[in-house]
A and B are shown apart, each in its own frame.
Chain A
Amino acid sequence: QKEVEQNSGPLSVPEGAIASLNCTYSDRGSQSFFWYRQYSGKSPELIMSIYSNGDKEDGRFTAQLNKASQYVSLLIRDSQPSDSATYLCAVNRLGYQKVTFGTGTKLQVIP
């Protein structure tokens, strides 16, 4: 079992819809959770961090964390074609020196 698992996609949603991206992790000691966006040919860009159970909202983005079920999700409201990218989930355990990245989910927003 991979430490961080994501569906590779592509996930296709129409413009204006809600895109829901999911990530599961295997290490129950994980404390910090991150979502990165990576456009084709570019480097990853941090868009959300979440550390506590529940929801965290930032503009059109909402991160949701459920430690009991070991999953973290990212919701993108009012999806735009410019949101088309690969979204990477990353997880860190308290005291560990490095994070573990998932393989990413490719999102396509159809105009």
Chain B
Amino acid sequence: EADIYQTPRYLVIGTGKKITLECSQTMGHDKMYWYQQDPGMELHLIHYSYGVNSTEKGDLSSESTVSRIRTEHFPLTLESARPSHTSQYLCASSGKRLAGADEQYFGPGTRLTVT
């Protein structure tokens, strides 16, 4: 069973506030990802990391930033929240099981509402 955690699960916050969404995994996976998903819509990759001190922007432009100081921890920060940031944020991690394999395991998600 995958062990990947996200906190908080739900967050309602006012415009202009700085927020950090936490993601931790205990599987020793090298790769971690952040996705944004609106209800009923597709997943959008916003950031990913393939190891400590390496981060990359994903396919969807995002005003958020990430850091990867420890293997198990991949927080996402919004410096100034706006209503357009209201969405579900999903963290995932993966590690190679076979050559070419990259099974991703998802955390429970953070539902962010910016008022």
Residues of A within 8 A of B (CB): 31-32, 34, 41-46, 49, 51, 88, 90, 92, 94-95, 97-99, 101-104
| Min C-beta distance of A107 to chain B, whole Å | 14
User: Is the beta-carbon distance between A98 and B33 smaller than 8 angstroms?
Assistant: yes
In the complex, chain A residues whose CB is within 8 Å of the CB of B42: 101-104
**Is B21 positioned at the interface, with any CB of A under 8 Å from its CB?**
no
**Is B45 positioned at the interface, with any CB of A under 8 Å from its CB?**
yes
Number of A-B contacts (CB under 8 A): 50
User: Is the beta-carbon distance between B104 and A46 smaller than 8 angstroms?
Assistant: yes
User: Is the beta-carbon distance between B98 and A51 smaller than 8 angstroms?
Assistant: yes
- B-side interface residues, number (CB < 8 Å): 23
Known: A90-B104, A99-B102. 9 other contacts (CB 8 A): A32-B101, A41-B39, A42-B108, A43-B107, A44-B90, A46-B105, A51-B98, A95-B100, A97-B50
